[in-house]
């Protein structure tokens, strides 16, 4: 039987792998966007290119942020 002080507590363990991979993906998405920004003037259609690059970077960044949050929440012990 659990002691009364621990009965209501749920301990969670931070998943550092998810947090680290999420942070790396955020950096890669931002880096990809910045690198492609430099290539935009050379493109035949820079507006369409940057629109596509922004969508891809935003999707990867969003998935990465979700990974960081889920990793910080962790799982039950």
pLDDT tens-digit readout, 13-27: 899 999 999 999 999
Q: The whole model's pTM is what?
A: 0.78
Give pLDDT, residue 7.
58
CA distances from 77 to 1, 13, 68, 71 (A): 17, 6, 19, 14
Give pLDDT, residue 6.
59
pLDDT, average across residues 19-40: 95
Give pLDDT, residue 16.
92
Tokens of 8: 């209501």
């Amino acid at each position: 039987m659990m002691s009364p002080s621990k009965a209501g507590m749920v301990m969670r363990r931070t998943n550092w792998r998810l947090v680290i991979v999420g942070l790396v993906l955020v950096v890669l998405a931002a880096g990809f966007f910045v690198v492609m920004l430099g290539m935009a003037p050379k493109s035949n259609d820079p507006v369409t290119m940057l629109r596509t690059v922004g969508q891809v970077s935003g999707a990867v960044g969003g998935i990465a942020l979700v990974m960081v949050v889920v990793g910080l929440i962790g799982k039950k012990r």
